[in-house]
A = this chain, B = another copy of it.
Amino acid sequence: MDSSQCKNTPLYVGIDGGGTKCCASLYDVNGTLLASAITGPANPLHGLERTLESIVSATSQALANSGLSQYQLSDLVVGAGLAGVNLPSLYAEVEAWEHPFAHFYLTTDLHIACLGAHQQKDGAIVICGTGSCGYALVGQQSHRLGGHGFPYGDKGSGAWIGMEAFKRVLLHFDGVGSAPKLAEALLLHFDVSNDLALVECLAKQPSSEYAKLANLVFDCAEAKDPVAIEIITEGAVYLNQLIEQLSAHSEPQLPVSILGGLARRYQAWLSASAKQRLVPARGEPQLGALLYAQSQHQMFQGMAS
């Protein structure tokens, strides 16, 4: 696509907004990717203004990256899937935004991830990164599993793995448990020498700080440390349960894709039965946001005409 693209042809933007970043991808009307950009946090639960700024700046940057200087924000049809907007009050707040785009279609981050992974067909996803969550889409019906948040929910997630390791290490230092390998790994990670210093590093930290320990726990588990194996196995058993339960939402079984920063590392730990239900994700969440924007836009245009 060159800069001679006619302004009569609409351009679409798919946005995936979460607690750490906002990804925007610009597509032509055929769904061909033209350009992308990444900006800051876009979870309205942690700040509405910041979220809207991240959306505008990511879209502006993607448009600038495309070189299509004849287009402005007001020419774009935008679909956005944001974390946090499963809460009706936050959904309403973002919906009330006087956005600078031609159209703005809002849904959840889980919805666009599922649409992207299964190219709008029925399917389910398990996301496992800093948090964890399951989501299935069958026709117009969606089903959510888990994802209640840290530290009480989000079992199997990176933050959960980090917290479980930290708990066991504290018991180890008190002599009421044994986790020498994890204790050594955590001290090394934080470059400290005792349990009280570890507490100072982790007390009152957000889930993202705990999640940074997850790969270290996987490393210990793969090096046959029994305590790390126990943690990762418990996490994998939970993900197996999510996968089996999500896939049972339709007959024949729903295909499930596992996404997120820990998807790859968990593969070897999942049960054979769960693995049989897995399919690779066919597209990114931003593509799901594009598909959502297109379908909503068609419906909207249909109603308007």
Q: Contact: A170 with B148, CB < 8 Å?
A: yes
A203 and chain B: residue at smallest CB distance: B149
- Within 8 Å CB of A195, what residues of B? 148
Q: Contact: B152 with A167, CB < 8 Å?
A: yes
Q: Contact: B167 with A202, CB < 8 Å?
A: no
Q: Does A163 touch B at the CB level, under 8 Å?
A: yes
* A146 CA to B196 CA, complexed, in Å: 10
Residues 160-206 of A contacting B (Cβ, < 8 Å): 163, 166-167, 170-171, 174-176, 195, 199, 202-203
- Within 8 Å CB of A142, what residues of B? none
Q: Contact: A170 with B199, CB < 8 Å?
A: no
- Copies per complex of this chain: 2
Given contacts A153-B167, A153-B170, contact A148 B241 (CB under 8 A): no
Q: Contact: B163 with A152, CB < 8 Å?
A: yes
Q: How far does the Cβ of A104 sit from chain B's closest Cβ, in whole Å?
A: 26
Q: Which of A148, A170, A195, A202 has the most chain B CB atoms closer than 10 A to its own CB?
A: A148
Interface band, chain A: 20 to 34
* A203 CA to B149 CA, complexed, in Å: 8
A210 and chain B: residue at smallest CB distance: B152
* A203 CA to B151 CA, complexed, in Å: 9
Given contacts A151-B151, A152-B202, contact A146 B174 (CB under 8 A): yes
* A170 CA to B242 CA, complexed, in Å: 13
Q: Which of A167, A174, A242 has the most chain B CB atoms closer than 10 A to its own CB?
A: A174
Given contacts A145-B174, A176-B238, A245-B176, contact A199 B163 (CB under 8 A): no
Q: How far does the Cβ of A159 sit from chain B's closest Cβ, in whole Å?
A: 11
- Within 8 Å CB of A148, what residues of B? 170, 195, 199
* A83 CA to B204 CA, complexed, in Å: 17
The 7 closest A-B pairs by CB, nearest first: A176-B241, A151-B151, A152-B166, A148-B199, A145-B174, A148-B170, A153-B170
In the assembled complex, 8 residue pairs joining A and B whose CB atoms fall closer than 8 Å, in A order, are A145-B174, A148-B199, A149-B199, A151-B163, A152-B202, A176-B238, A176-B241, A176-B245
